[in-house]
Structure formats: structure tokens, C-alpha cells
Amino acid sequence: MATEVLDAAAAAHEAGHTAETSSGMPQLDITTWDNQIFWLLVSLVAIYLIVTRVAVPRIGAVLAERRGTITNDLAAAEELKLQASEAETAYNKALAAARAEASKIIAAARADIEADLAKATAKADAEIEAKTAVSEKRIAEIREGALESVTEVAKDTAKELVSVLGGKADARSINAAVAARLKG
Amino acid sequence: MEGELAQMGKYIGAGLAAFGLGGAGIGVGNIAGNFLAGALRNPSAAAGQTATLFVGIAFAEALGIFSFLIALLLMFAV
Amino acid sequence: MAEEGASGFQIHPMDQFIVKPLFGGDHIAWYTVTNVTLWMAIAVVAIAAMLMLGTRRRAIVPSRSQSVAELIYGFVYNMVEEVTGREGVKYFPYVLTLFLFILFSNLLGLLPAAFTTTSHIAVTIVLAMLVFLGVTILGFVKHGIGFLGMFWVSSAPLVIRPILAVIEVISYFVRPVSHSIRLAGNLMAGHAVIKVIAGFATLVVASPVVIGAVTALYGLELLVACVQAYVFTILTCVYLRDAVGDVHH
């Protein structure tokens, strides 16, 4: 039992020793350093050449080109936007002009109509005036005629009455009497 | 017997050296925690300071790695 | 019984990091084709495929693969521009190279049975030293001796300025160390933890828990792989800012 444990310990110790001699801490094995450093430098030079000869120019060019494309596209978009806004202002201007034109036309038409209307009204007024004047004249004539007739009738009647009553009347006195009566 | 005593000393020393890593852990946690606290107060400034965060973490961690290296040296190289 | 238990729990979490020659042999010379070579080559091929095949058509409206390449390009470009300013954009290809290598190595390392090249300190220290030396040389070239003004904090009281200068110099030289160990350590730790947890799967009772835990850890490691590539890159940008930007901050 005891020897077994001792043997195990010895074996473990032995194993530790062999591990130490074969590996230990491989990083500290100076004999491999020159090899590692040599291959490291080779690799670094290779990567550096790849980076400077191929990658940086290529990717740099692509990125610059992309930046240029994006800038150009943005500029084009900006220009289009400007054009659009220009078109919009032009449209607005045209719209305003059309509107002004329309209102002018409307005003002109209204003025025309009003003028026509005024003319027609004036004409109608004048006609009415003329007709009224004619009618008034006629009425005056008729009235005058009527008055004359009344005087005539009254004279005739009075002559007749005088003659019927046996009197002899001269025209002059009858006229005077009728005129006085009519006035009265 | 003497070799075994030396072996024991090596292992104890390696274990003690591993304590150093706890210090590094505290340091890194402190940095990250303070960064987070600052970042939550002013999130807009946080993005620009991640480089500083990593440099700080790297400096704090390096010292822990040194003690780890001591432990490894004791275990395998001495 | 005891022997079985002992051998059943022989977990070797670090075995996955062993550098092995691909075509036999024990000796690893600097030119030997190893698994490091293989996985770095796979990373290079994957990067080439992503960058070249996707962008082959150079489309204005990108295809899916092209937008992935463009996304990574834009991500790193914005990071460089944001952190280092316009001055730093010149160094964007270097930063992109580092980012792509680290990101692809991290992600490829997560494939089962893969070898994680970025978990090796030898690799990350070279990456970090490239940045460190590059930034230092660039700083002296740009600002001359005035680059040393970075260590002389003019906003501090005169008495403590020398002390601060010493601290600044030390922290400047620790940069490549922390820069490299952070990356290697994170990946090594993650992979080792997955391996340790997976090792418990030999215990039948624990295996359902192990499956869940490994799945969760795998998700975490996926996050870590991306975050570490990001962190390495952004720190590169931060160091670069010291060299190209205003030295008196």
C-alpha cells in the first residue's frame, strides 16, 4: 500500500520531470526563439507587402470612388430638387398670371355688361320719357278739346234755351254769360 | 525530500501569485462599471470613449497577467 | 488504482504550445519549417484571401466578402485617425499589418488542434519591440532631442518633476514588456484554461459540465482574441501619438 503510493508519487514526479524537460513552459525555450522570430518576420513582411501593394490602394480607391459616387449622386439629387422647386415656382407664377388674367376678363365682362345695361336703361328711360311726353300732350289736348266742347255745348244749349223761351239773344251776350258761368 | 519541499513551495507560490488576478478583476470591473455609469448619464459621449475604455482595461489587465505569468513561471519554469 | 488516477489526471495544458518541426527531426534551426511556420503561413494566406479575393471586383456596391475587407480597413483607419490624428495616417499600413496578423493568429489559434503563434512571448515581444523601437526612432527623428521633453512633465511642480521623470522613463521602458506579455499572456491563459478544463472530461461524471464550460470559455476566448488584437492596435496608436503628436501633453 505504502509502496504503491510512493511508486505513484515517484511516477508522477517522473512524469512531471519528463514534461518539464520536454515542454515545461515552451514559451521560455530559448532555442526555438530564433526560428519563431525568423518566420514571424517573414510573415509580417508578406502581410505588409499584401497590405501596401494590393489592399490599401484597392480598398482606398474603392472607398474614394464610392465617396465620389455618393457625392455626385447627392449633387445630382440636389440639382433635381432645385429644378423641381424652380418648376414649382414657375407653375405657381403661371397659375397666378392665369388667375389675374381670368379676373381681368371677368372685370372687363362685368364692365361691358354694366355699360350695356346702363345704355339700355338710359334708352328705355328716354323712350319712356318720350312716350310720357306724348301721352301728356295727348291728354292735354283731349282735356282742352273736352273743355272747348263743353263751352260749345253750353253756348248751343244756352242759345237754344233762350230761343225756346222766346227771347232773342245775341251771340255775344250768350258767350259772355256762358264764359262767366264756366268760370264761376 | 528536499525536491518535494521545493515543489510544494513552488505550488504554494503559484497559488499565491494567482491572487493578483483577483486584483486585476477588481480593476477591470471598476473601470467597466464607472464607464457604464458615465455612459448612462451622458450616452452621447459614450461612443467616443470606447477606445479609452479599452486602453484602461488593457492597462489594468496587464498587471493581472503579470501575476499569472509569475504563477506559470513558478509552475513550469523554476 | 492510485496509478490509474494519477495518470488519468495528467493534464499537460502547456503541451499545445510546443514548437515542433513539421518534417521530422529534433533540431530546430532558425530556418526549420515548424508548426509556427505552418500556422503563420495559414494566417498569411487567410489575410491574402480576405484582402485580395474579396476586393477583386472593386465593386462600388460591395459584395459580402468585400465589405468584410472594407470593414476592417475602415475600422483600423478610423482608429489610427482618431487616436493619432491626421499626422499618424501615414503609418496606417504598419498598424493594419499588425492588426491583421494578430487578429488572424488569435482566431486561427482557436481552431481545434491549432497552434497559436501569438501565445508565444518570442512572437509578441518582436511585435512589441517593432512598435517600441519604431516609435522611439520616429520620435527622435521628428522632434530631435525635444522628444525627451515627454518625460519632463512641465505641468507638475518643479520639486517633483525629477521624480516624475524617473517614473515616466521607467513606464516608457515597461511599455514593450506589458505590450507583449498582455497579448501572449491572455492567449496562453485562455488556451491553457480550456485545456485544463477539457482534461477533466476524462472523469465521466464531470464531462457534461466540462462540455458546457469549454463551450462558454470558447465563446469568451473568441471575444478575447478580438479584444486583444484591438487593444494591441490601439496601444500602438497611443504610443504612435507620443511620437508624431505634440510631445508636451
CA distance A149 to A152: 5
pLDDT at B56 over 60: yes
- Nearest CA to A36 out of C97, C29, C96, C44 is that of C29
**C10 pLDDT above the threshold of 90:** no
Structural domain count of chain B? 1
Residue B40 counted as domain residue:
yes
C-alpha grid cell, residue C166 = 524617473
The strand pairing partners of C21, in sequence order, are C34
Residue at grid coordinates 513539421: C22
Compute the distance between CA of residue A111 and CA of residue A22 in angstroms, rounded to an integer.
119
Query: Does residue B73 lie in a domain region?
Result: yes
Chains interfacing with B (3 or more CB pairs < 8 Å): A, C
Compute the half-sphere exposure of residue A123: CA atoms within 13 Å on the CB side of its CA.
6
Contact B65, C190 (CB under 8 A): no
Residue B4 lies in a domain: no
- Grid cell locating B75: 509552475
Contacts of B65 in chain C (CB under 8 A): 181-182, 185-186, 189
- Kind plus residue range of the DSSP H or E element containing C204: none
Q: Is the pLDDT of residue A11 over 70?
A: no
Q: What is the pLDDT of residues C39-85, one digit of tens each?
A: 999 999 999 998 888 788 877 788 888 888 889 999 999 999 988 88
pLDDT tens sequence across A49-100: 999 998 888 888 888 888 888 899 999 999 999 999 999 999 999 999 999 9
Computed over every residue of chain B, the mean pLDDT equals 88
Domain for residue B3, yes or no?
Answer: no
Q: How far apart are CA B19 and CA B14, in angstroms?
A: 9
- What pLDDT sits at residue A175? 80
Chosen for mutation from C14, C38, C72 (greatest number of chain A CBs closer than 10 Å) is C14
Q: Is C188 on the interface with B (CB under 8 A)?
A: yes
Three cell numbers at A124?
A: 328705355
Q: Which residues of C163-177 are buried (b: 16+ CB within 10 A; e: fewer)?
A: eebeeeeeebeebbe
Q: C93-110 burial by CB neighbour count: b if 16+ within 10 A, else e?
A: bbbbbbbbbbbbbbbbbb
Give the pLDDT of residue C87: 85
C97 is written with which cell numbers? 499589418
Whether residue B31 lies inside any domain: the answer is: yes
Cβ pair B55:C178 closer than 8 A: no
Q: How far is it, in rounded angstroms, from Cα C76 to Cα C92?
A: 8
Say if CB B21 and CB B68 are below 8 A apart.
yes
Phi, psi of C21 (to 5 degrees): -65, 140
Confidence of residue C146 (pLDDT cuts 50, 70, 90): confident
pLDDT digits (tens, 9 = 90+) for A141-172: 998 888 888 888 888 888 888 888 877 767 78
Given an 8 Å threshold on Cβ–Cβ distance, is C52 in contact with A15? no
| Helix C92-109 with C121-143: angle, nearest 10 deg | 170
Say which residues have a Cβ less than 8 Å from residue A69's Cβ, sequence separation at least 6: C60
Q: What is the C-alpha separation between C36 and C29, in angstroms, rounded?
A: 13
* Residue B6 forms part of a structural domain: no
Query: What's the pLDDT at A176?
Result: 81
Amino acid at C160: I
Residue pair C38/A42 in contact (Cβ under 8 Å)? The answer is no
Rounded to a whole number, what is the distance in Å from the CA of B15 to chain C's nearest CA? 15
- The 3-state DSSP class for residue C21 equals strand
CATH number assigned to the domain comprising residue B49: 1.20.20.10
User: What's the complex ipTM?
Assistant: 0.87
Structural domain of B29: 21-77
pLDDT of residue C184: 92
Nearest to C51 among A39, A55, A62 (CB): A55
Phi, psi of C34 (to 5 degrees): -120, -175
Using the predicted structure, report yes or no on whether residue C248 has a pLDDT greater than 60.
no
**Residue C35 contacts A where some CB pair is shorter than 8 Å:** no
- The length of chain C in residues reads 249
**DSSP element (H, E) containing C39:** helix C35-48
Distance (Å, rounded) from C-alpha C68 to C-alpha A32? 35
- Give me the residue from A13, A16, A24 closest to B77, CB to CB: A24
Q: What are phi and psi of A146, to 5 degrees?
A: -65, -45
Instruction: Tell whether B51 lies on the interface with C, counting CB pairs under 8 A.
Output: yes
A44 near C101, Cβ under 8 Å? yes
Task: Kindly state whether residue B29 falls inside one of the protein's structural domains.
Answer: yes
Instruction: Name the nearest CA neighbour of B52 among B65, B38, B66.
Output: B38
* Rounded Cα–Cα distance for residues A21 and C144 (Å): 49
Residue A128: CB atoms within 10 Å = 10
Dihedral Cα B43, B44, B49, B53, nearest 10 deg: 10
Task: Flag whether B62 is in a domain.
Answer: yes
Residues pairing with C148 in the sheet? none
Tell whether the model's pLDDT for residue A12 goes beyond 70.
no
Question: What SS3 state is found at B45?
Answer: helix
Name the residue among C84, C77, C184, C14 with its Cα closest to residue A63. Answer: C77
pLDDT above 90 (res C105): yes
